[in-house]
A and B are shown apart, each in its own frame.
Chain A
Amino acid sequence: MTLLPLSKPQGDDTATTMTETTDEPRRGGIGLPLRLDSVTRSFGSLKVLKGVTLDIPRGQFVAIVGRSGGGKTTILRLVAGLDLPTSGSVVIGGEVVCGLQPSVRLLFQDARLLPWQTVIGNVGVARGKDWKETARAALEDVGLAGRENDWPAVLSGGQRQRVALARALVSRPGVLLLDEPFGALDALTRLEMHKLTERLWQENRFTTILITHDVAEAVALADRVLVLREGHIALDIPIDLPRPRREHIDPKSAEIKARILKEV
């Protein structure tokens, strides 16, 4: 497959900070640009989002941090089309979101695998054309080749999230949303999942929003970190550290982390 014109899409914000332009062929589909236009969302009298405006160029990896209950999941649900804004609009690839988006895939904190489907049945849950081959390839991609016929119940937490990742990948999403997917994992597994996520993102170049309460995780993975506080974006900071990142090596990362923590 030929290289896709990812670095300078016309009309988009070109301030992407993807530092690694690997020379291996990229197999993925194309990331979609994403825009939130003064989005608000209230539940009854509770104003969760009070006007969030945000422009994410295609292929960018954005992390959102913020206190629990701050509306992070709400943002993802709006982007996925699971929920509609009270006012304002969400625009993906030039189209206003008004329902579920086939180009958007969402990873939940609990992997949400169907317990009555085998691993491969879960990955190919939408049962598209040639779903078995596609699912098998995706499983191989996340390092779970050979586990196709296992029940989800026998997998570890990390493996379950790998299956969920494979499930998200099979449809070649333009936008991948990650809602604290690694929060429940132990530290080592989490590091493995970070590496895997970064590699898959680099290979497929989907636009990514990662929700996390772990500032170190945000700084390790994202091109850009947003702090959501009291319904607003309180901080929007680019992370232009070289990849792959080794947090203990780069003194700059500690400084960025401190800045973010101050705002949360």
Chain B
Amino acid sequence: MRQGFLSRVGTSLAPWALPVLLVVAWEIACNAGIVSQRVLPAPSQVAAAFWAAIWDGTLFEHVGISAQRALQGLMIGGGAGFFLGVLCGVLRPAEVLIDSSLQMLRNVPHLAMIPLVIIWFGIDEEAKVFLVAIGVMFPMYLNTYHGIRTVDKGLIEMAKVYGLGPFALFRRVILPGAMSSVMVGLRYALGIMWLTLIVAETISASSGIGYMTMNAREFLQTDVVVLGILIYALLGKLADVLTRALERRLLSWHPAYQVKGRTA
């Protein structure tokens, strides 16, 4: 019993051993002066910067504005990509009209448009939201479209034989059939969303986490810079956890997502 308990605790803690060891080594190296503060601040300094930013409220302000840009861009671009994917997946004429153009546009790296976007929108909010929207649109479009085109034709035929109208067919057969692919698109989109935002905020912004870190760089506040990087990582992880939860909910019928028990 005792040994079983110990080994259980051991296995659940094991994955954390290496990171903790690294942080400790990092702290020691900084305090011993092996690593200069200008290169890398000690973890304790990052933690202090974290507290300071929380207490003077700047952290929430920057995180809030970044999250807002991210979500706006995701809504607009993801929504457009999903809509176009559904349209092209369901309607043959729309596919002929739109798909090849989108496939061409897809090859333009959206970050290459930054200079143009700055000319169009200046460094206002629109510029960042626009870049994020463009970035997330393509993975959403491609995966939605692919998901819908690969829905089992047999199921569609069955649904027609059993008298489902176009709307019911879409809602009960096509959309659920495409859903796992749509979720893959969403995961990709989230990754691109953060990446785009980091780049856009770093290049030109007067608020947001990217601005916070770039501003800190000017004053050589490496602790704030590292804090900014960590916040990005945390936000990315948070988005991932939320999508996983959404996935488990939407795909609860899928054998791969059934934790235990067999009933709905």
Contacts and interface: CB of A to CB of B under 8 A. Distances in A.
Interface string B156-182: 011111111000100011001101000
A171 B264 CA distance: 25
B162 A105 contact: yes
A112 B158 contact: yes
B166 to A, nearest CB: 13
A102 B163 CA distance: 7
B7 interface: no
A254 interface: no
Interface in B200-240: none
A80 B163 CA distance: 12
A153 B253 contact: yes
B42 to A, nearest CB: 51
A82 B158 contact: no
Chain A interface, DSSP helix/strand/loop, else mixed: loop
A97 interface: no
Interface stretch (B29-37, B81-89, B137-145, B254-262): B254-262
B172 A105 contact: no
A115 B258 CA distance: 13
A150 B262 contact: yes
B253 A108 contact: no
A173 to B, nearest CB: 10
Contacts, number: 64
Contacts of B254: 115-116, 153
A178 B183 CA distance: 36
Contacts of A127: 168
Nearest to A109: B154
Contact of A80 (B161, B176, B263): B161
A117 B168 contact: no
Nearest to A151: B253
A47 to B, nearest CB: 24
A126 B262 contact: no
B253 A117 contact: yes
B155 interface: yes
Contacts of A3: none
9 contacts: A82-B161, A108-B158, A114-B176, A116-B254, A117-B172, A118-B264, A125-B164, A125-B172, A126-B168
Interface of A: 80, 82, 100, 102, 104-106, 108, 110, 112, 114-118, 125-127, 149-151, 153-154, 167, 171
**The 5 A-B residue pairs with the shortest CB-CB distance in the complex, in nearest-first order:** A116-B176, A116-B253, A112-B158, A154-B262, A118-B264
